[in-house]
Structure 1
Amino acid sequence: MTSPARPPARRIAARWGTGIVALGLAVTGCGGPTGGPTGGAAGAGSANGRVTSITALDYYTDGPEHTQWGELLTTCGKSVGVTVEQTSVPGPSLLPKVLQQASSRTLPDLLMLDNPDLQQIAQTGALTPLEQYGIDSSGFAQGILSASTYEGKLYGLAPNVNTIALFYNKDMLSEAGVAVPRTWDELKAAAVGLTRPGRYGMAVDANATFEGAWQFLPFLWSAGGDEKQLATPQAAQALRLWVDLVRSGSMSRSVLNWNQSDLRDQFVAGRTAMMINGPWQISALNAATGLHWGVATIPVPQAGQTAVTPLGGEVWTVPQNASRARQQKAAQVLACLNDSTNMLALAKERYTVPSRSAVAAQYAEQVPSMAAFVASVEAARARTGELGVKWPKAATGIYTAIQSALTGEQTPEEALKHAQQTATSP
């Protein structure tokens, strides 16, 4: 699963699940970085030159998530001796608010960002590199660190991340004698074999938004395609796969309009046997009566290849301000949020993947339904990894090409040539 042309991780990450229970997390090892001044221009929330409170901004406006994160921020704040004043704004409002605050130098002490937005904010000089606080970033998957890095410096860390995988209806596959597909040829054959009157074999989100681009990336990247140059045979091969699924009748043309929630609804209703989606749908799938489902990594062009999926999730950052003491306290809270114990507890409640690989491996053993997502995160890529702040233009080109090819207006080659022109236009 947003800014002028923001990729989908905001909606994706913000919909990690429903019915989330507020956590009473026990914070261990959360002292985080220490040292640095404790007096000076501490500003509001200080007494006798000591910082007693800091502010935090996020987009967790939904009741369960807002409460859950509020409790964790409070607990982490207490562990380092401050009160954390949490403010939440709707997802679409966060980036404009942050840009305005960066301009007026009124940013909060602790700031959450959708990971594709980090580079845009870091580019303004509004964030501080985390290395200066001594925060431990060891053990994080490389793609996660890449999403939080700008010009070689680490500006944020994500306690948990997400990506997408292939969900399938176990009963439908068993009835049709179809194995879980691992390659593109197997996917096409399985989709045909699973299609019945009133039911399609496969579904993707191919709509004209960043969700459509997000869902296409595993196919583009796993084929050897690249967002820097979309007009390539590898990219055309990936788009041709989606075209073939629609033309064969094993995938509905309605995917041109469906979002990821629509895919879930189709899957729950038995109108599609397989779908590409994320772990934020698991709570709803678990609640569906009589639905027996499984999840696997996204099929790849050839057996033995590794699926390369996009990385979703939010990062926590420490903005610039006039008080080094406040920055130090914010960094200590950030370190606490990224503590391994809290990572694991958050992941279990929200069906997300802990960002430290060792914690993620432990999680996959404890929650088998998340194993495919854990495996995929290890090779997942940040959408801004190649193009940085130029990624949104490429994403626009990608979802426009998908629409043109699936409607038959253009061949995959023609559509991607136009997409490349869109991506490189001034």
Structure 2
Amino acid sequence: MTSPVRPSARRITALFATIALVLTATGCSGETGSGSATGAVTSITALDYYTDASEHAQWGERLTACGKTAGVTVEQRSVPGASLIPKVLQQASSRTLPDLLMLDNPDLEQIAQTGALTPLDQYGIDSSGLAKGILSAGTYQGKVYGLAPTVSTIALVYNKDMLAEAGVAVPRTWDELETAAAKLTRPGRYGMAVDANATFEGTWQFLPFLWSNGGDEKQLDTPQAAQALQLWVDLVKRGSMSKSVLNWTQADVHDQFVAGKAAMMINGPWRINALNETKNLHWGVAPIPVRQMGQTLVTPLGGETWTVPRGASKARQEKAAQVLACLNDSTNMLALAKQYFTVPSRTAVASRYAEQVPSMAAFVKSVESSRARTGELGVKWPKAATGIYTAIQAALTGGQTPEEALKHAQQIASGS
């Protein structure tokens, strides 16, 4: 899961207006590249934010292989995550979008809203067999614009030795979580660790507690939301969770866990490689606890979707769509999931994967009922996300009660 820094809302609004006017006037966008609108297409361009050398190379191999099946060479271009959306908005405005575009799933709707993307059904791409939340993440106004080969979410990661030593069972409910965290806490070690910082990452980590308890970003100042926030407040107040969670990133949470300074943490499968490489660390993964037995765990969906922007050349769009379909076939899904410790987007493939990679079973299970962050509010989601992490900060510092903090959060979300 990535949370790129987004440009300001005012800037986005202005760019949206410009882009919409340009697209309406011209009826197209895109690079001409190799192969004209009427000639044979021999190469296409792809844009992503895989700037890590290893990741860039690995995705490059996938794109090259899928390009070969489509009969084209794929020129991969990568920019830092924080730069992707500003670059895409600028390219859409100047009609220089790539042929194949990767987007973090919460960003898809705001780009689709500009008219810069094409619906995938026009290419006959198969989107069957996907979990509801995954399909929702690639959909805008009833049309599927993006597909993710694999996805991710978050779960409870725990130190097996510490739990065994304290005689603590893996918690399933909030009461059990509070009890376990208290028993696991001792000098130099906290029972629980989360990322509660003032970014979308903090919101991301809080969502399972909010959503699973019946809270909703459409109305943040509810008893259900307050109960979820009170849980985090209580963990800090009772000393089971460090006050430093207000500043920790997910990477910091991981570091605390592997250093033995936290017995349990909320984190994602992107940490598994590092966990496996840590000597003498015996860890397990379980679903995030819910307030009471019988509630359905709902976690946020992470992962990148691949899209086909509008372009001057229909032939180039068709080739890009063929590459996209290849990336999303079952064989590539499974291979990518094993390579990156992510979850295949097709339910049947994910089930086989969970059997083959047991450490991913809890993540696979959680993805079944996961939810796209933009599923309820669409392009208005960033305001709600800002309200949520603002409320977390206010409540955990003791500046406001959960109820007061969430009332302010709702004001932020509604723009009042």
**Which residues of 2 match residues 343-354 of structure 1 at below 5 A?**
343-354=333-344
SS in 1 for 2:284: strand
1:93 corresponds to which of 83, 88, 93: 83
Of residues 137, 142, 152, the one that matches 2:142 is 152
1:237 aligns with 2:239: no
| Mapping 1:273-284, distance limit 5 Å | 273-284=263-274
Q: 1:70 aligns with which of 45, 60, 71?
A: 60
Map 1:241-260 onto structure 2 (within 5 A).
241-260=231-250
Alignment check: 8 A CA contact 1:279 1:351 kept: yes
How far did 1:133 drift?
A: 0.3
Residue 324 (str. 1) matches residue 314 (str. 2): yes
8 A Cα contact 1:42 1:49, kept in partner: no
**Is the 2:31–2:96 contact (alpha carbons within 8 Å) kept by the matching residues of 1?**
no
Per the TM alignment, residue 49 of structure 1 is displaced from its structure 2 partner at its CA by: 1.4
- Tell me how far 1:44 sits from its aligned partner: 3.0
> Per the alignment, do residues 380 and 144 of structure 1 end up closer, same or farther by CA in structure 2, a change over 3 Å counting?
same
Distance of 2:95 and 2:346 partners within structure 1: 33
1:222 is aligned to 212
Q: How does 1:26-37 map to 2 (within 5 A)?
A: none
Q: Distance in 2 between matches of 1:185 and 1:214?
A: 22
Q: Distance in 2 between matches of 1:330 and 1:96?
A: 22
Counterpart check, 1:208 vs 2:210: no
Task: Measure, in 2, the Cα distance between the counterparts of 1:5 and 1:378.
Answer: 32
Return the alpha-carbon distance in structure 2 between the equivalents of residues 44 and 266 of structure 1: 48
SS for the counterpart of 1:295 is strand
Q: How does 1:309-388 map to 2 (within 5 A)?
A: 309-388=299-378
- Judged with a 3 Å threshold, the aligned counterparts in structure 2 of structure 1 residues 305 and 333 are, in CA distance, closer, same or farther, namely same
| DSSP-derived class of the 1:112 partner | strand
In structure 2, the residue matched to 1:4 is 6
Distance 2:365 2:54 in 1: 28
1:3 CA displacement: 4.5
Whether the 8 Å contact between 1:5 and 1:393 is mirrored in structure 2 is no
Paired position in structure 1 for 2:401? 411
Alignment RMSD, CA only? 1.3
2 CA distance for matches of 1:352 and 1:183? Answer: 25
Does residue 47 of structure 2 align to residue 45 of structure 1? no
Partner of residue 112, structure 2:
122
When structure 1 is superposed on structure 2, of 46-55 and 195-204 the one drifting more is 46-55
**How many Å separate the matches in 2 of 1:203 and 1:60?**
28
- In the alignment, structure 1 segments of 5+ residues that lack a partner are 7-40
* 2:283 alignment partner in structure 1: 293
Pair 1:175 & 2:165 matched: yes
1: distance between equivalents of 2:295 and 2:358? 22
In 2, are the aligned partners of 1:267 and 1:274 still within 8 Å (CA)?
yes
SS at 1:202 equivalent: strand
| Unmatched runs of 5 consecutive residues or more in structure 2 | 9-29
Q: Would you say the 8 A contact 2:287–2:362 is kept in 1?
A: yes
Identical-residue share of aligned pairs (%): 79
Partners of 2:371 and 2:55 lie apart in 1 by 26
1:306 aligned partner: 296
> Which amino acid in 2 is paired with 1:239?
L
Cα distance change, pair 5–241 in 1 and its aligned pair in 2 (3 A): farther
Instruction: Tell me how far 1:340 sits from its aligned partner.
Output: 0.4
Deviations 1:50-87 (A, max 9, x none): 11111100010101110001011001001111011111
Q: Output aligned runs, 1:101-140, within 5 Å.
A: 101-140=91-130
- Whole-angstrom CA distance in 1 between matches of 2:250 and 2:35: 45
3-state SS, counterpart of residue 298 of structure 2:
coil
Q: How far apart in 1 are the matches of 2:194 and 2:179?
A: 16
For 1:242 and 1:44, how far apart are their aligned partners in 2?
A: 52
8 A Cα contact 1:131 1:154, kept in partner: yes
Give the superposition deviation at 1:43.
3.9
Name the TM-score, length of structure 2 as normaliser. Answer: 0.93
Give 1:217 deviation, angstroms. Answer: 0.3
Paired residues of 1:309 and 1:381 also in contact (CA < 8 A): yes
Contact 2:31 2:311 in 1 (8 A): no
Paired residues of 2:333 and 2:345 also in contact (CA < 8 A): yes
Deviation at 1:45, TM superposition (A): 1.3
Following the alignment from structure 1 to structure 2, what is the Cα–Cα distance between the partners of residues 268 and 323? Answer: 51
**Structure-2 separation of matches of 1:310 and 1:217:** 7
What stretches of structure 1 move > 6 A for 4+ residues in a row? none
SS in 1 for 2:88: helix
Q: For the Cα contact (< 8 Å) 2:31–2:98, is it kept in 1?
A: no
Q: Which residue of 1 aligns with 2:72?
A: 82
What is the deviation of 1:42? 9.6
Q: CA deviation at 1:5?
A: 6.7
Q: Quick check: 1:5–1:392 contact (8 Å CA) kept in 2?
A: no
Quick one: distance in 1 between partners of 2:389 and 2:7? 12
* Residues 111, 318 of structure 1: 8 Å contact kept: yes
CA–CA distance in structure 2, aligned partners of residues 306 and 372 of structure 1: 14
TM-score, normalized by length of structure 1?
0.90
